[in-house]
Structure 1
Amino acid sequence: MRLEDKVAIITGGANGIGKAAVEIFAREGAKVVIADFAEEQGKQLESELREKSFDVQFVKLDVASRESVQTMVQKVLSNYGKIDILINNAGITKDAMLVKMTEEDFDRVVDVNLKGVFNCTQAVVPHMIEKGYGKVINTASVSGVYGNIGQTNYAATKAAIVGMTKTWAKELGRKGINVNAVSPGFTRTSMTEKMPEKILNYMESIVSLQRLGVPKDIANAYLFLASDEASYVNGHVLNVDGGIMM
């Protein structure tokens, strides 16, 4: 198994891409912390996987709250004694055209998608430094590279994550910690379920593979970067987008 005895925190792990990652990491031998604000879904996933004898634990987490993040980290250390892998997967959208976007919606997306990544990484990394080993994987987006209509806030946070990833890779590589990012393209999640079918059809048409991604596509990229197979990959942004913008 590729992650045997590793301890992994996956934020936003109760749904979508995060849920797929939790399932894959558990099957690969990791002890997985499902860190999410969605308590009902998180506990349900925990129960389902424990019935299959996987070592998983749900911890309620608001990534935008430093206090919540610190509490989560302490619970993980109390239970497992270490943190090997951090997947900063949690994210939200509050889309609107620039002239209609509210300050509240702009700030909330920044708090979760950007500051949340900062909060979690800053809380976890000192424990990785102490052990001389760690994998940090951030979730960017093609929107952060190419922009997307109606996503001023979301695109800004995802572009910033690319910059933070490369900065942290330079700072932490000498400490034995790999920091990379995955940049998903159009992926079928609860976010896309709300979109009109004609928009989804258009999105498929501009992808070279002529399909939208599924959560497992992104989770498999997380798995590679979290494994020792990627021990010499650092500061990289891995596009998993079906060839949308070549």
Structure 2
Amino acid sequence: MNRLQGKVALVTGAGRGIGRTIADTFAREGATVIATGRSEANGFADGVEYHRLDVSSDADWARVVGEVTGRHGRVDVLANNAGVIAYESLHELTVESWQQVVAINQTGVWLGMREVVPHMQRTGGGSIINVSSIWGSVAVAGAHAYHATKGAVRNMSKSAAITYARENIRVNSLHPGFIRTPLTEAQDPEINEFVIGQTPMGRAGDPQEVANGALFLASDESSFVTGSELVVDGGYLAQ
């Protein structure tokens, strides 16, 4: 308990699933948590406040971070978790579909980092956790835009880590495997069965298992960890 005592943490895509669990976990560990999403949500743990945020909107980011720093004076942790998935092959993708996935999965991560970094520079550092995926490192057939964006998040994190290392701003990427969430539950069951079947541990992960990784990266326990990829995937990428 209290591994994040006194820290102010902003979590995107926190209405449900992994983001919701990260927000609640951070709050239980003592952080003041700003959970964000595109629709209303409630029922969070004590210490969580909720703000509407479209991560693809420059103006929304400026508004939310302005409200947070105006009220709390700082942002110590940013967990860029918001994301969407689409199973479309390269030749099937429309420009509109491509732009939507890029806007949320990639541009949203960049905008979030760009907005909080100056505040972290002012207060002497912080931790940024960008949620990528096992499919940011390897691929399956189809899901072209998703693979492109999650691979981008992986390298964007490394670039930012190197850029701001001397200012004590740590940037790491988090790579979940198949996790049982409302997002995956809405997928074709055959896709889910295939990915679980390819996972050496033979089961789906739980959102709390990913949140535990995010907690480590957010805490001072990871003070010498930056530019790294934390994989939570039941052994998928070890193959």
TM-score, normalised to structure 2's length? Answer: 0.96
- 1:233 is paired with a residue whose SS is coil
Q: Does the 8 Å contact 1:70/1:123 carry over to 2? A: yes
What CA distance in whole angstroms lies between the structure 1 residues aligned with 2:138 and 2:204?
Answer: 17
The answer to whether structure 1 residue 100 and structure 2 residue 92 are counterparts is: yes
What CA distance in whole angstroms lies between the structure 1 residues aligned with 2:190 and 2:114?
Answer: 41
Shift of 1:193: 1.0
The answer to whether structure 1 residue 183 and structure 2 residue 175 are counterparts is: yes
Shift of 1:205: 2.0
Q: Does the 8 Å contact 1:133/1:175 carry over to 2? A: yes
Q: Does the 8 Å contact 2:17/2:183 carry over to 1? A: no
- 1:146 is paired with a residue whose SS is coil
Identity of aligned residues (%): 39
The answer to whether structure 1 residue 80 and structure 2 residue 72 are counterparts is: yes
Q: How does 1:27-176 map to 2 (within 5 A)?
A: 27-39=28-40, 42=41, 44-46=42-44, 49=45, 54-176=46-168
Q: Does the 8 Å contact 2:24/2:48 carry over to 1? A: no
The answer to whether structure 1 residue 10 and structure 2 residue 2 are counterparts is: no
Over residues 75-97 of structure 1, what are the superposed CA-to-partner deviations in whole Å (9 max), with x where a residue is unaligned? 10122111100000011122212
Structure 1 segments, 4+ long, off by >4 Å, are none
What CA distance in whole angstroms lies between the structure 2 residues aligned with 1:72 and 1:200?
Answer: 35
- 1:235 is paired with a residue whose SS is coil
Q: Which residue does 1:238 correspond to in 2?
A: 230
Over residues 135-162 of structure 1, what are the superposed CA-to-partner deviations in whole Å (9 max), with x where a residue is unaligned? 0010111111111222110110010111
The two structures, once aligned, show a CA RMSD in angstroms of 1.1
Over residues 204-223 of structure 1, what are the superposed CA-to-partner deviations in whole Å (9 max), with x where a residue is unaligned? 22211111111111111000
- 1:181 is paired with a residue whose SS is strand
TM-score, normalised to structure 1's length? Answer: 0.93
What CA distance in whole angstroms lies between the structure 1 residues aligned with 2:191 and 2:59?
Answer: 39
Q: Does the 8 Å contact 2:157/2:172 carry over to 1? A: yes
What CA distance in whole angstroms lies between the structure 2 residues aligned with 1:116 and 1:79?
Answer: 23
**Number of residue pairs aligned between Structure 1 and Structure 2:** 237
Equivalent position amino acid for 1:21 in 2: I
Q: Which residue does 2:197 correspond to in 1?
A: 205
Equivalent position amino acid for 1:145 in 2: S
Q: Which moved more, 1:108-117 or 1:188-197?
A: 188-197
Equivalent position amino acid for 2:201 in 1: L
Q: How does 1:191-230 map to 2 (within 5 A)?
A: 191-230=183-222
Shift of 1:101: 1.5
* Change over 3 Å in CA distance of 1:55–1:190 after alignment to 2: same
Segments of structure 1 that go 5 or more residues without pairing to the other structure are none
Shift of 1:8: 0.1
